[in-house]
Amino acid sequence: ACVRSNSNRAAISHLHRQLYGRLYPVLLVNTDGSTVRLRYSEPKRILMLPLDSSTLPEAERKARLRRHFPSKPKAKEEETFEGIDLDTYKKFWKK
């Protein structure tokens, strides 16, 4: 498909380039929270290093897994109309 390239294309979405001609300043965030400024080949603001889950305590590892893979929502019980007095709603049925 033919893609039309003009100055508005980068403003609508991200730049579609394989290689960038210069290095860009980026903030690198380590797993302990410390930050380092470096020059990166793509224009990004922040890079975060992945957390090594094998170094975490067991309780925190399970808490992270629960947040990452939440449990399925339980099915709600259907309402039954057995305990409702229908005479109180009779006025709404008349035309």
Mind spelling out the 3-state secondary structure of 42-83? CCCCEEECCCCHHHCCHHHHHHHHHHHCCCCCCCCCCCCCCC
φ/ψ of 64, rounded to 5, equals: -65, -40
What are the angstrom distances between the C-alpha of 45 and each of 16, 42, 60? 17, 9, 28
What residues in the chain have per-residue pLDDT under 50?
A: none
For 42, the domain range is 18-68
Specify the pLDDT at position 71: 82
Specify the pLDDT at position 10: 58
Question: Model pTM greater than 0.95?
Answer: no
Specify the pLDDT at position 37: 93
Specify the pLDDT at position 36: 93
Question: pLDDT tens digits, residue range 72-88?
Answer: 888 888 877 777 888 88
Inside any domain, residue 7: no
Largest CA distance in the chain: 78
Distance CA(39)–CA(47), nearest Å, equals 11
Inside any domain, residue 64: yes
Inside any domain, residue 63: yes
Inside any domain, residue 95: no
Inside any domain, residue 80: no
